[in-house]
Amino acid sequence: MYRYFVRREDAGVTEKLLATLRVKARRRDGRHPEPSAGIIDAQAVTGADTVGTATRGYDAGKNVNGRKRFVVTDTAGLLITVAVVAASWQDRDGATTALLGAYLATPIRHVCAGQGFAGRLVDCARDILKITREIVHRPAGQQGFAVHPRRWVVERCAVRR
């Protein structure tokens, strides 16, 4: 089974299938086939015992030893790209890899992000990829969890579950 998986991955079948399904879903919803805006988020996940130590790291902010996945979706929550790195990577550094993948896959040129995606990401996105980045801040006085409409679609993306 793994041999078939590798063969299809090497042929780019997963990416082609994802792009085709995304275009069909966007057309069904009356949207332009290709997105121009997206949302990015990161999540640190604990690595299984089988995950090699060379590809895992420790995220001190989340107290997680494992990997971090960066997900880019369109504004409807349809998956654009995923980048997986060691959990020790800073959000702004790992996001560059995910944004490059989104840049190569779609015409996305505007991305909404959380407060962790600041600093060097602004320069890379603006100067190299020509993508504008909008930081979505928490409302003043917010305590605990609250839905942020501009970013919630990436939270409900199927990859997050």
Per-domain residue ranges of the chain? 1-31, 34-160
Q: What average pLDDT does this structure show over 88-113?
A: 87
Q: Which of 96, 141, 99, 139 is nearest to 119 (CA)?
A: 96
Between CA 53 and CA 21 the distance in angstroms is: 35
Section 25-40 average pLDDT: 93
**Would you say 78 and 158 are in contact if contact means Cβ atoms under 8 Å apart?**
no
Per-residue confidence (pLDDT) for residue 161, from 0 to 100? 43
CA 135 to chain centre: 15
What is the rounded average pLDDT of the residues 69-84? 90
pLDDT value for 157: 64
Q: What is the mean pLDDT of residues 117-124?
A: 72
pLDDT of residue 70: 92
CATH fold, domain 34-160, is Nucleotidyltransferase; domain 5 (3.30.420)
CA 33 → CA 20, 30, 62, distances in Å?
10, 9, 37
- pTM higher than 0.85 for the full model? no
| Pairwise pLDDT comparison (11 vs 157), residue with the higher score | 11
Give me the amino acid identity at 30. Answer: G
